[in-house]
């Protein structure tokens, strides 16, 4: 019996069959018409969307609104709770850089951050960029931050006002607060200043939303006069540009999901031809940070699957000159690194838990910053200056609010700078966080992080929100999240399944959840649900699954594989039309994604593998649980038509009585709403769905 009552008639998308034959295999797609032919132009001007498509999306939104009408009061309550846990006028601890210290703050009621600086040792705060002012009157507005010149006179800032992730760059005089006439369109959102502050480098996105070119802009000249520095011919690679901390080099970083390449421009000659460090070699990854007379290189070279740190002379950076500094240790995954005048620092993960390691560059002595909780999260901020002994890091757990520390690498002294405030109150002792291991289909143990109130009865009756992602090697941290307390306080067990496809247990964990091993990701998530059911943390009848983007693919897959084990499913911007998307090489992310999923255009094996698990292609006649799909009209990563097509097919095929709902944000893209409180409204909506489905309203 469905908990959803008195629903209106659900929208029915008309069928307009389109056939496609590849490798001698013919497939028919009844809902291909939902993909706008003019999607490139529509991302920049959503008003030109085909009226028939718009009408269908709006009908879906109306149906969703009717189905969720009885949760509107609950949504407001949840939003108020979540907002009450946020310090509305919160401010970051400024980070020192030269004569100033830079930070951000919010004002009460404000949606957007404000960037500020103060004199290095304290004094009056100067607002450099007011996000609320810049975004006033816009349905969507997201800042890309502001980067200052070495002499602190100018700032480069960017914004996206459509959700399509085409950023406009502006140059601001930091003394007057006024923008210069320079307007740089269609960029990736950031840039790298030349040391003299008179020019900068930036990335341009092409019509298919790919970062294909790096330009050099001289302040005061039109964008049309900008010099092309580098053009990437391979559409399968991402590209970015940045500057070294010592202002010696401009880095051009080119990479896909398994291969890296760096080019260097010495700032002593900004018109020089970019110098190659190590030519791209499939499977070789590396990233660089400057250490004065050497570069430190984090790499998987020489079979270092979990990465090692090497060094090479600045004047001879080629691969033939790389030598080991921090050797490879199997099972200890080095995630990131940074260098300072006297210390080398890196963030690593072992046995699923992170720690920060410090190495004295002169003596070679190493020590760790570690913590004792069963599951926790660390963030490494580093420092704004090279010649320093003090770095900054953050610590939190599912029960412990975020704490920000300064750490003296020489004296090993920690200084607590700030503890996250929860204005409405938070008693750590009311909650339990645990790390349990769920055996998967092949005996591999999958870590699952749990948060619940101490007074919850663990007899199978508790509802559970089970979250998963499992792709691109991205690990889901067990950090403090004030929003999920609203579920815990209603008796939910909040669970994160650290499934294969992430790097939670090392690089092998990632490899065992991609390409031909992709289905391990889905089976691991189902195994987590099985374990929570068997151990009576919850029961199948009480589990609501949630995942977004590639985690939305996970949601679509488990809906097809084990619909009976979930009471409901929330799929945010879900990558569910996997095969069609990977066959469409005009889409922004398709060529760069082939190393993750395979290339079904060239490979029949990859085609058949994707066809076997692609959620959209495997929707069948079976009783699906209640499903909520969320999309963004201008999303360039997971296009709006993926959830739209999936929902149309699910509704056609399901033999059950539970509704299939879709909400399309007509003013946003992949990240959802842009303001901090607008985002909370979306989370409150998702949680209201989970609470309703679990019968806990």
For residue 576, which of 530, 624, 529, 613 has the smallest C-alpha distance? 613
List 260, 440, 670, 674, catalytic entry: 670
List 160, 199, 635, 674, catalytic entry: 635
Q: What is the 3-state secondary structure (H, E, C) of 520-571?
A: HHHHHHHHHHHHHHHCCCCCHHHEEEEEECHHHHHHHHHHHHCHHHCCEEEE
The full DSSP string for 431-499 is EEEEEEEEE-TTSPEEEEEEEEETT---SS-S-EEEEE---TB--------STTHHHHTTTPEEEEE--
Q: Is the Cβ–Cβ distance between 452 and 432 less than 8 Å?
A: yes
* Annotation marks residue 635 as catalytic: yes
Q: Is the Cβ–Cβ distance between 450 and 537 less than 8 Å?
A: yes
Dist. CA 248–CA 685, nearest whole Å = 48
What one-character DSSP code corresponds to residue 91?
B
String of b and e for 364-376 (b: at least 16 CB within 10 Å)?
eeeeebeeebebb
> Counting Cβ atoms within 10 Å, is residue 649 exposed (0-12), middle (13-18) or buried (19+)?
buried
* Annotation marks residue 424 as catalytic: no
Dist. CA 516–CA 501, nearest whole Å = 12
Segment holding 336, helix H or strand E: strand 332-339
Dist. CA 184–CA 171, nearest whole Å = 9
Chain centroid offset of residue 274 CA: 30
For residue 45 the two structure tokens come to: 């001007």
List 278, 549, 614, 674, catalytic entry: 549
* Annotation marks residue 161 as catalytic: no
> Counting Cβ atoms within 10 Å, is residue 70 exposed (0-12), middle (13-18) or buried (19+)?
middle
Distances (CA, A) of 223 to 168, 179, 200, 518, 557: 11, 16, 12, 44, 45
> Catalytic amino acids?
549, 635, 670
């Amino acid at each position: 019996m469905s908990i959803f009552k008195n629903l209106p008639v659900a929208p029915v998308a008309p069928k307009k069959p389109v056939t496609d034959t590849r490798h001698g295999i013919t497939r028919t797609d009844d809902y291909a018409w939902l993909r706008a032919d003019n999607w490139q132009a529509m991302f920049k001007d959503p008003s030109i969307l085909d009226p028939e498509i718009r009408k269908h999306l709006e009908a879906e939104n109306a149906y969703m609104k009717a189905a969720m009408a009885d949760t509107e009061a609950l949504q407001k309550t949840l939003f108020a709770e979540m907002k009450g846990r946020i310090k509305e006028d919160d401010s970051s601890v400024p980070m020192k850089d030269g004569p100033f210290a830079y930070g951000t703050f919010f004002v009460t009621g404000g949606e957007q951050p404000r960037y500020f600086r103060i004199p290095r040792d304290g004094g009056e705060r100067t607002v450099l960029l007011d996000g609320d002012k810049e975004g006033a009157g816009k349905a969507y507005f997201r800042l890309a931050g502001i980067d200052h010149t070495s002499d602190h006179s100018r700032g480069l800032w960017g914004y996206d006002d459509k959700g399509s992730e085409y950023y406009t760059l502006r140059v601001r005089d930091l003394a007057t607060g006024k923008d210069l006439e320079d307007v740089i369109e269609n960029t990736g959102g950031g840039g790298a200043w030349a040391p003299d502050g008179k020019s900068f480098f930036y990335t341009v996105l092409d019509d298919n939303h790919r970062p294909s070119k790096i330009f050099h802009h001289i302040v005061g000249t039109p964008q049309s006069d900008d010099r092309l520095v580098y053009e990437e011919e391979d559409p399968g690679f991402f590209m970015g540009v940045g500057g070294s901390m010592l202002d010696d080099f401009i880095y051009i970083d080119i990479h896909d999901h398994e291969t890296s390449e760096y080019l260097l421009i010495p700032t002593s000659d900004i018109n020089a031809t970019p110098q190659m460090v190590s030519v791209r070699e499939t499977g070789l990854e590396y990233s660089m940070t400057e250490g004065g007379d050497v570069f430190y290189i984090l790499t998987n070279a020489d079979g270092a699957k979990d990465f090692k740190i090497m060094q090479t002379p600045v004047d001879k950076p080629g691969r033939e000159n790389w030598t080991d500094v921090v050797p490879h240790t199997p099972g200890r995954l080095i995630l990131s690194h940074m260098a300072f005048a006297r210390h080398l620092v890196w963030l690593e993960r072992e046995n699923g838990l992170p720690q920060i390691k410090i190495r004295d560059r002169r003596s070679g002595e190493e020590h760790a910053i570690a913590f004792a909780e069963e599951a926790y999260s660390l963030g490494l901020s580093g420092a704004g200056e090279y010649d320093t002994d003090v770095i900054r890091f953050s610590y939190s757990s599912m029960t412990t609010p975020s704490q920000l520390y300064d750490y003296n690498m020489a004296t090993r002294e920690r200084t607590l700078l700030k503890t996250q405030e929860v204005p409405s109150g938070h008693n750590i002792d009311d909650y339990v966080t645990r790390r349990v291991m769920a055996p998967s289909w092949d005996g591999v143990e999958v870590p699952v992080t749990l948060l619940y109130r101490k007074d919850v009865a663990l007899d199978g009756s508790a509802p559970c929100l089970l979250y998963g992602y499992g792709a691109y090697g991205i690990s889901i941290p067990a950090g403090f999240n004030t929003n999920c307390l609203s579920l815990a306080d209603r008796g939910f067990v909040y669970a994160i399944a650290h499934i294969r496809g992430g790097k939670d247990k090392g690089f092998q964990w990632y490899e065992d959840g991609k390409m031909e091993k992709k289905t391990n990701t889905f089976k691991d998530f189902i195994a987590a649900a099985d374990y929570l059911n068997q151990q009576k943390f919850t029961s199948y009848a009480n589990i609501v699954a949630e995942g977004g983007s590639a985690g939305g693919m996970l949601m679509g897959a488990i809906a097809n594989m084990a619909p009976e084990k979930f009471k409901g499913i929330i799929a945010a911007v879900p990558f569910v039309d996997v095969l069609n998307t990977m066959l469409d090489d005009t889409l922004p992310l398709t060529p760069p994604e082939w190393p993750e999923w395979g290339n079904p255009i060239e490979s029949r094996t990859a085609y058949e593998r994707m066809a076997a698990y692609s959620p959209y292609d495997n929707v069948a006649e079976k009783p699906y649980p209640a499903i909520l799909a969320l999309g963004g009209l201008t999303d360039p990563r997971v296009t709006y038509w993926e959830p739209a097509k999936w929902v149309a097919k699910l509704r056609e095929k399901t033999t059950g009585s539970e509704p299939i709902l879709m909400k399309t944000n007509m003013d946003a893209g992949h990240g959802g709403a842009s303001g901090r409180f607008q985002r909370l409204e979306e989370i409150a909506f998702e949680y209201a769905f989970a609470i309703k489905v679990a019968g806990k309203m």
